[in-house]
Structure 1
Amino acid sequence: MSVSIGQPVPDFTAQATGDTTVNLAALKGKQVVIYFYPKASTPGCTTEGGDFRDRKADFEAANTVILGVSRDGIRAQENFKAKQAFNFELISDKDETVCGLFDVIKLKKLYGKEHLGIERSTFLIDAEGKLAQEWRKVKVAGHAQEVLEAAQELAG
C-alpha cells in the first residue's frame, strides 16, 4: 500500500533528530514536505539538504514543515544535521516503515551491482493531511526551489 495524490497520508510516528518523535497527525494544519534521500553525508544528499535548509524561512512563510528521511541510524542523522547546520529534523527510518508507506525503496544499480535503496523522492502533504504532490527520481539541482514554489502555491 502506498500513498496517492489527493488521498490522506496514513499517520506514522518515527524517531527523529533533536531527541524528537515525529507524528504526522500532530502536524495537521501545516503543510509537510517529506524528502527521502539515500544516505546521510553523501554529496548529493548534502547538497539537497542544504538547498532545503537555505529556503526554510520561505517554507515557514508558506506554513510548511520540512522533514528529511533516510535509513541511516539516529546517530548518523544527528551528525549529518549538526555538520550541515540543518534547521529541520531528520527521520531515522532503519526499519523502512516510512519508506514503505511512500514506496521509495527501489532496486538500484551501483557499479554494476544491484541493491535495494532509497530512490530520491519528495512528497508535499497539504494542511488537511492529504498528499498534494510527489516528485520521484529527483535530480537535486533546482529541486528544493521547485518544491518551495509548489508549497507556496498550495498555501495560497
Structure 2
Amino acid sequence: MPEPKIGAPAPDFSLPASGDRIVSLGALRGKSIVLYFYPKDSTPGCTLESQDFQRLSGDFAKLGAVILGVSRDSTASHDRFRAKFGLGFDLLADTDEIVCRQYDVIREKNMYGRKVMGVERSTFLIDASGVLREAWRKVKAKGHAAAVLEHLRTL
C-alpha cells in the first residue's frame, strides 16, 4: 500500500481499543488526532514514548487533540500496558496489520542480525477535518512527544 500523503485525507479505520471498545477515525472528526505507531507494549522505547505522550496529554487536550497509540499487540496486552504505566489514552490493537499497512509502517528491520518485518515507530498528525498534516518516520522515542506537541501548536 502506498504511503499516505500530506494534505490528503488520512486513511480511515476502525480498531479494537483498550477497554473492550472500537475506535474509528471517522467518529473523531472535529478533533485533531495524534496517531502513533509503536512496535510492542512494555518494551523500553515504547514505554518511554507512551509515558511522554501521557505526561503531555493535558497539553494535547488543551489544543483539541486526541492521542491514539497503535501496535500489533492484543487489547489484553494494551490493557495491561495502560494499567502498569497509567496511560489515559486509547491503545488500538491492529493484530492483523491492516491499519499498519494503510499507514505504511510495516518495514524490514534488523533484529539481532536477522531481517524481520516489524512496526517502524511513526507518528501521524491528522487535523479536525481528517486531513493528514504531518508524518514522522523512524522516530526516536526520547523527546518525540514534545516535538509533536510543538508542531501542533504551530497549526
TM-score between the two structures when normalised by the length of structure 1: 0.96
Stretches of structure 2 that go unaligned for 5 or more consecutive residues are none
Following TM superposition, by how much is the alpha carbon of 1:10 offset from its aligned partner in structure 2, in angstroms? 2.5
Contact 1:5 1:131 in 2 (8 A): yes
Mapping for residues 121-140 of structure 1, pairs under 5 Å? 121-140=122-141
Q: Which residue of 1 aligns with 2:100?
A: 99
Count matched residues: 154
Q: Which residue is 1:18 aligned to?
A: 19
Q: CA deviation at 1:152?
A: 1.9
* Aligned-pair CA distance for 1:20: 1.6
* Superposition misfits of 4+ residues, deviation over 4 angstroms: none
- 1:118 is matched with 119
What letter corresponds to residue 52 of structure 1 in structure 2? F
Which residue of the partner structure matches residue 49 of structure 1? 50
Instruction: Return 45-54 or 6-15, whichever deviates more.
Output: 6-15
Gaps of 5+ in 1: none
The 8 Å contact of residues 34 and 123 in structure 1, kept in 2 or not, is answered as: yes
Aligned equivalent of 1:146:
147
2:88 paired with 1:87: yes
Aligned to 1:4: 5
> C-alpha deviations, 1:16-72, integer Å up to 9, x for none?
102221110111110000000000000000000000000000000010000000001
Aligned to 2:75: 74
CA contact (8 A) 1:50 1:84 kept: yes
RMSD (Å), alpha carbons: 0.8
CA distance in 1, matches of 2:35, 2:90: 10
Do the aligned residues in 2 keep the contact of 1:38 with 1:117 (CA within 8 Å)? yes
Contact 2:124 2:134 in 1 (8 A): yes
Kindly indicate whether the alpha-carbon contact (under 8 Å) linking 2:19 and 2:79 is maintained by their aligned counterparts in 1.
yes
